[in-house]
Structure 1
Amino acid sequence: MKSLSAGYGRRAPGEPRAVGYLYVLPALVIYALFLLVPFGQSVWLSFLHWDGLTRATSAGFDNYSDIFTDPSLRAPFGHALVLLIFYSALPVCIGLLLAAAMSRIRVRGLTFFRTVLFLPQVLAMVVVGVAWQSILAPDGLLNDVLRAVGLDSLARPWLGDYDWALPAVGIVGTWVMTGLCLVLFLAGAQRIPKELYEAARLDGAGAFREFFAVTLPALRAEIAVALTLTIVAGLRNFDLIYVMTSGGPGEATSVPAYEVYHRAFELNQVGSAAAVGVALTVLIFTLTVTVSRLVEGRRS
């Protein structure tokens, strides 16, 4: 009887663990069919020379070595890292500053402002790309405003300029992602105890010290989520590039996600496209895991 009761004591409450696996089995099957299996096929294709029609030949690691040696493949990864400044760093910083200001100062119509700033997240990125393409056109709204205020020398074909095309696309990414970061940080700021702010003010803390001593540490989890979402969005950016620049002028705005499409469907280099896609997946996974580990390490 003692051994029997001890066995029951060690068993987890509720249904057996095998039943729990049955509950998640349908989701695991769908996940495997639509993600793991295609990814495995992409890895297999990345070791081949294949144009999508004729017989494939073995490529070994040539497709991966080309990513480091071929400038036309190396440049898109550099462009993607530059875009992370606009897609991730700037939105997180701007969102933190706005959230800190709104939590310190009572703002009328806060719900309205949050809705307006979050609106770009609701719009399809194709719609965003078409709208901003017209704004940044040589005869678009931005150049019209610059000419109207006497800054004709600053007007330029923003998306056709080799130096400004990538930052112009990046600014659109900043506009899209800032609302997401702000909403996350405002939600986190609402759960910060008011006593912490009162204690900081009693100690003579100003706005900046209050931000770094109270607000920033309390929003660590939200910052990790915002960084993860914005990094993934920045690295897998395809629709904005496709709609606004198609990787041009030249290859000034080409990014890995667009390069996968370009090589697979326009150049018929399926193996090379698969290698770029696998490398991009590894890069996204590495960066997101690094961000999570850094935040968890600081928590502990």
Structure 2
Amino acid sequence: MGNKWRGYLFVLPALAVYLAFAVLPALHTAYLSFFDWDGVTLGSWTGLDNYAEVFQDPGLRGSVLNALVLVVFFAFLPILMGLAMTGLLARHRRPGMAAFRLLFMLPQVVPLVAVGVTWRWLYGDDGVLNETLSGIGLGGVTRAWLGDFDWALVAVGVVGTWVLSGLCMMLFLSGVQKIDTHLYEAARLDGAGAVREFVSVTLPHLRGEIAVALTVTTVAALASFDIVYVTTGGGPGEETTVPGLLVYRLAFSDGKVGLASALGVVLSLLILVLVYVINRLSRDER
């Protein structure tokens, strides 16, 4: 018994910090979601009215749909690109592999604000993308990418794909290291080519890493704020508005702290449900 409680004492400092800065603020946010409060004056109890507005207001629903669209760019495309790069790099040592990995991991160490500023410049009217398209005779394709109602959300999504592809690649490469090399030798003796070897040996052994990557990238998509705020600010119109940005606007610009809290709670529950489904499906497949 003494050793058991001694172990809890070692965990207690971290647990206290987690409770103070994560659990209690989350509970306080849930409490505020039942009030009509501007953040300054005395709030009034509204019950579930804020939650009803979250589901009934087209703008609030639209922000959630935009976040779900970003899941494609922040989660599925980075995972596919990470798997493709893993297939190219995992089984054979090639010159410059260390530099290649460092290059793709660079977005993970660069602040997302700096990433957003850089890509806003790349997407500009006289930015690298439009200049390159004009230089190769595709001037008719150029546009104000971040100001185009049809392409703004896609343009923001491409930034997320670039940021998260390297993270997925590193997760998958680390997973490949634990695969028994005899499995690859057996596959080659059976006449398996590179693609068949990847599908039959590598991919089945990366289920756990794929689940982790899908969890991390899905949370990044649904909780996105930095990149959207810096690149488009939610525009044009509401085409790139996401829940994280809307929570910020409602709480600090519009004085609707209760509504912002309700949207934050709904977003958190959506993330928890999706993470649970991802982990459950991954566990069932094992």
Is the pair's TM-score, using the shorter chain for normalization, greater than 0.5?
A: yes
SS of 1:162's partner is coil
How far off its partner does 1:229 sit? 1.2
| Counterparts of residues 42-191 of structure 1 (less than 5 Å) | 42-191=29-178
Residue in structure 1 matched with residue 235 of structure 2 by the alignment: 248
**How big is each residue's C-alpha offset from its partner over 1:112-166, in whole Å with a ceiling of 9 and x where there is no partner?**
1000010010000000000000000112111011111110111000000011000
Matched residues in 2 for 1:119 and 1:137: separation?
23
Question: 1:17 is matched by which residue type in structure 2?
Answer: K
SS of 1:78's partner is helix
**How big is each residue's C-alpha offset from its partner over 1:148-200, in whole Å with a ceiling of 9 and x where there is no partner?**
11101110000000110000000000000000011111111122122111211
Regions of 4+ moved over 3 Å: none
Q: After alignment, is 21-30 or 87-96 more displaced?
A: 21-30
| Counterparts of residues 5-16 of structure 1 (less than 5 Å) | 15-16=2-3
How far off its partner does 1:261 sit? 0.2
Residue in structure 1 matched with residue 260 of structure 2 by the alignment: 273
How far off its partner does 1:238 sit? 0.4
How far off its partner does 1:36 sit? 0.9
How far off its partner does 1:107 sit? 2.0
Q: After alignment, is 81-90 or 279-288 more displaced?
A: 279-288
In angstroms, what is the RMSD of aligned CA positions?
Answer: 1.2
Question: 2:225 is matched by which residue type in structure 1?
Answer: F
Extract unaligned runs of 5+ from structure 1.
Answer: 1-10
Matched residues in 2 for 1:190 and 1:74: separation?
43
Identity %: 51
How far off its partner does 1:205 sit? 2.2
Matched residues in 1 for 2:269 and 2:189: separation?
48
Matched residues in 2 for 1:107 and 1:86: separation?
29
| Counterparts of residues 224-235 of structure 1 (less than 5 Å) | 224-235=211-222
How far off its partner does 1:82 sit? 0.4
Question: 2:143 is matched by which residue type in structure 1?
Answer: R
How far off its partner does 1:30 sit? 0.9
How far off its partner does 1:290 sit? 1.5
Q: After alignment, is 187-196 or 72-81 more displaced?
A: 187-196
How far off its partner does 1:208 sit? 2.6
Residue in structure 1 matched with residue 204 of structure 2 by the alignment: 217
Extract unaligned runs of 5+ from structure 2.
Answer: none
Question: 1:274 is matched by which residue type in structure 2?
Answer: S
How far off its partner does 1:66 sit? 1.5
Question: 1:44 is matched by which residue type in structure 2?
Answer: Y
**How big is each residue's C-alpha offset from its partner over 1:219-264, in whole Å with a ceiling of 9 and x where there is no partner?**
1111111111111111111011111111000110000100100111
Question: 1:139 is matched by which residue type in structure 2?
Answer: D
Q: After alignment, is 59-68 or 205-214 more displaced?
A: 205-214
Matched residues in 1 for 2:29 and 2:188: separation?
56
How many pairs align? Answer: 286
TM-score (norm 1): 0.92
TM-score (norm 2): 0.97
